[in-house]
Structure formats: structure tokens, C-alpha cells
């Protein structure tokens, strides 16, 4: 079953149409990656799926677990299992990271354990992201996802600004969340990952890649083949890089 089914989605930001008719499906247990140039609408798409304020869905369907969630608030979507890791995580003065994490789970014992896994043990009693370095903010985002354990993870450039050792720490945390140790048919959680560098894909296998340009999906195919094509020839020539078998096998 498709965990997420987006049909003909149009989204305005500040009165301007940024997403201009996107169709996208993610099956249960799959990891999909999104490539696209700066300003193509990738973060806007994630914001619209998470229901963040300022993203005005003017047309189309966002179906999650078989229900249209367009009218639901962000917190209701989070309760249904949608988790977002921000490209630019905001700082929240006056709220400790521990307090936020405790509001997400009834099992408080996992908090120090997961914080230790992400090298964030000393950060739990600091205000959320206040004074955190870029890489620390990204680890804090992943820690929040680990505690929330969402069924659909929206990861907006999880490795940008993260040093090489911490990329593998983040990737290992995501791998365990996505149950990568199980056969694909037994996995239930899914992810949509935006990446420019592709570094995260060295550690975490994605099943399919979609390319977004100018608010539309150009096509989909093998993550490694598409990434290689973009690396060599840029986005403009990527119309040659889509594999038909992905469409035929209903993976896109
Ligand atoms: N509040 C806003 N007001 C005006 N324009 C906006 C606003 N938010 C986003 N946009 C515009 O929407 C477009 C898409 O932005 P978005 O953040 O989705 O791009 P992106 O694909 O995530 O890019 P990047 O790779 O740089 O993160 C950009 O041109 C951006 O300037
Ligand atoms: Mg972005």
C-alpha cells in the first residue's frame, strides 16, 4: 500500500505558486530521495506534507495512510506519524531539548540512550538548538525523530554541514529507524530524503529517486544512476537519466 500518495499538488508560498502539479507515491518500507536544484520547491513540498504554516495548498491531494490530510494541523499530522527534520532547524529559547523530547514519548529511559548514540548527551538541558553548531542542530533533529519514531520521515538535507563521522552516526540512527536490517517487505516506515551531496546515500540505501525542477517532478529512477548523471552533466541534461523500469514496476 502507498503510505503517502500525492496527486496533482499545487502549493503557493507568499502568494506565488511554487509547487506546480506534483504526483508522488511512497510505498510502506521504502526510502525515496529527492534531487533538485536550489529553489526548485523541495523544502516547500516537505512543508506542505507536514502542514507547516505559510504553505497554501491550492489544489490536489495529500493522502497519508489512505486519508486526505490536507485539512489537518501540523500536530495532528505528527500524531499520525509524520516527522520532519528541518533543513534549517529553528532555535527555541526557553525550552530545553529534554522537555521537547519528553513530550514526544512515554518512555523517558530511551532519551539519554538515544542522546548518547547521537553524541548529544551534554545537550539535553540546553535550550533547543540555541547556540548549537550546524552539525549539532542536524543531530538534534535526528534525535527528535528517533524519539518520535514516525512512520513517514521527511528529511530535508539531514547531512548538510555535518562532518564525515557524524554523517555515519546520523545515517546509522536513520537506518535503525527505517528498519533497514529487515527484508523490505517487513519494513513499515518510509522516508523522503532531500540531499544535494548524496553523502547520506553512501551509508543508507534509497530505493528510488525523484527529480524536482521548477515545482514539478521531472521523473524518477535509480538513485545512484541519477546522482551520477547530475554530478557529471547537471540538472539540465537529467531528462536522459530516468529509468523506464521504475515506472513499469510501479516504484515511482
Ligand atoms: N516565504 C517566502 N516568500 C517568498 N518566496 C518564498 C518563500 N518561501 C519560499 N519561497 C521561494 O520558493 C522557492 C522554492 O523554495 P524551497 O525552499 O522549496 O526550495 P528548495 O528546492 O528547497 O531549495 P534549496 O535546495 O536551496 O533548499 C524559492 O524560489 C524560494 O525563494
Ligand atoms: Mg530546501
Q: If you take atom 27 of ligand 1, which residue's CA is the nearest one?
A: 38
Q: Are 11 and 58 in contact (CB under 8 A)?
A: yes
Average pLDDT, rounded, for the chain: 94
Instruction: Tell whether ligand 1 has an atom less than 6 A from the beta carbon of residue 19.
Output: no
List the shell of residues around ion ligand 2, using CB closer than 5 Å.
42-43, 87
**What is the pTM assigned to this prediction?**
0.95
CA distances from 65 to 4, 28, 71, 151, 188 (A): 7, 9, 15, 10, 11
Q: What's the rounded mean pLDDT across residues 59-81?
A: 97
Q: Are 207 and 214 in contact (CB under 8 A)?
A: no
> Please, which residues bridge with residue 233 across strands?
none
Which tens digit of pLDDT belongs to each residue from 156-197?
999 999 999 999 999 999 999 999 999 999 999 999 999 999
* Confidence bin at 246 (pLDDT 50/70/90): confident
Report how far ligand 2's centroid is from the alpha carbon of 58 (Å): 20
Report how far ligand 2's centroid is from the alpha carbon of 186 (Å): 31
Q: Which three cell numbers stand for residue 155?
A: 528529511
Sign, CA dihedral 154-159-162-163, equals positive
Parent domain of 74: 2-248
Report how far ligand 1's centroid is from the alpha carbon of 84 (Å): 17
Q: Are 88 and 43 in contact (CB under 8 A)?
A: no
What is the residue whose three cell numbers read 526557553?
A: 94
How many structural domains compose the chain?
1
Instruction: Tell whether ligand 1 has an atom less than 6 A from the beta carbon of residue 43.
Output: yes
Produce one character per residue of 198-226: b if its CB has 16 or more CB atoms within 10 Å, e if not: bbbbebbebbbbbbbbebebbbbbbbeeb
Report how far ligand 2's centroid is from the alpha carbon of 203 (Å): 21
**Listing from the earlier edge strand, what are the strands of the sheet with 216-221?**
82-85, 152-156, 190-194, 31-35, 208-213, 216-221
Domain containing 61 — which CATH number? Answer: 3.40.50.300
Nearest to 4, CA basis, from 104, 86, 84: 84
* Confidence bin at 250 (pLDDT 50/70/90): low
Instruction: Tell whether ligand 1 has an atom less than 6 A from the beta carbon of residue 47.
Output: no
Q: Which three cell numbers stand for residue 209?
A: 529517486
Amino acid at each position: 500500500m502507498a503510505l503517502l500518495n500525492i496527486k496533482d499538488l499545487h502549493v503557493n508560498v507568499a502568494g506565488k505558486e511554487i509547487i506546480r502539479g506534483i504526483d508522488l507515491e511512497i510505498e510502506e518500507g521504502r526510502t525515496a530521495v529527492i534531487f533538485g536544484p536550489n529553489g526548485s520547491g523541495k523544502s516547500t513540498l516537505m512543508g506542505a506534507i507536514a502542514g507547516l504554516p505559510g504553505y497554501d495548498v491550492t489544489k490536489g491531494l495529500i493522502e497519508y495512510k489512505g486519508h486526505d490530510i490536507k485539512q489537518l494541523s501540523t500536530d495532528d499530522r505528527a500524531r499520525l506519524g509524520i516527522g520532519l527534520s528541518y533543513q534549517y532547524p529553528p532555535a527555541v529559547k526557553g525550552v530545553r531539548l529534554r522537555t521537547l523530547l519528553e513530550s514526544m514519548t512515554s518512555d523517558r529511559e530511551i532519551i539519554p540512550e538515544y542522546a548518547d548514540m547521537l553524541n548529544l548527551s551534554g545537550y539535553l538541558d540546553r535550550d533547543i538548538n540555541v547556540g548549537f553548531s550546524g552539525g549539532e542542530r542536524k543531530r538534534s533533529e535526528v534525535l527528535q525523530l528517533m524519539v518520535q519514531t514516525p512512520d513517514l520521515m521527511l528529511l530535508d538535507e539531514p547531512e548538510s554541514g555535518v562532518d564525515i563521522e557524524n554523517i555515519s552516526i546520523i545515517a546509522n540512527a536513520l537506518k535503525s529507524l527505517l528498519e533497514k536490517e529487515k527484508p523490505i517487505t517487513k519494513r513499515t516506515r518510509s522516508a523522503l530524503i532531500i540531499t544535494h551531496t548524496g553523502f547520506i546515500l553512501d551509508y543508507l540505501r534509497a530505493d528510488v529517486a525523484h527529480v524536482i525542477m521548477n515545482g514539478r517532478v521531472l521523473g524518477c529512477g535509480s538513485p545512484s544512476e541519477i546522482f551520477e548523471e547530475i554530478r557529471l552533466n547537471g540538472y539540465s541534461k537529467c531528462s536522459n537519466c530516468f529509468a523506464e523500469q521504475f515506472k513499469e514496476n510501479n516504484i515511482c
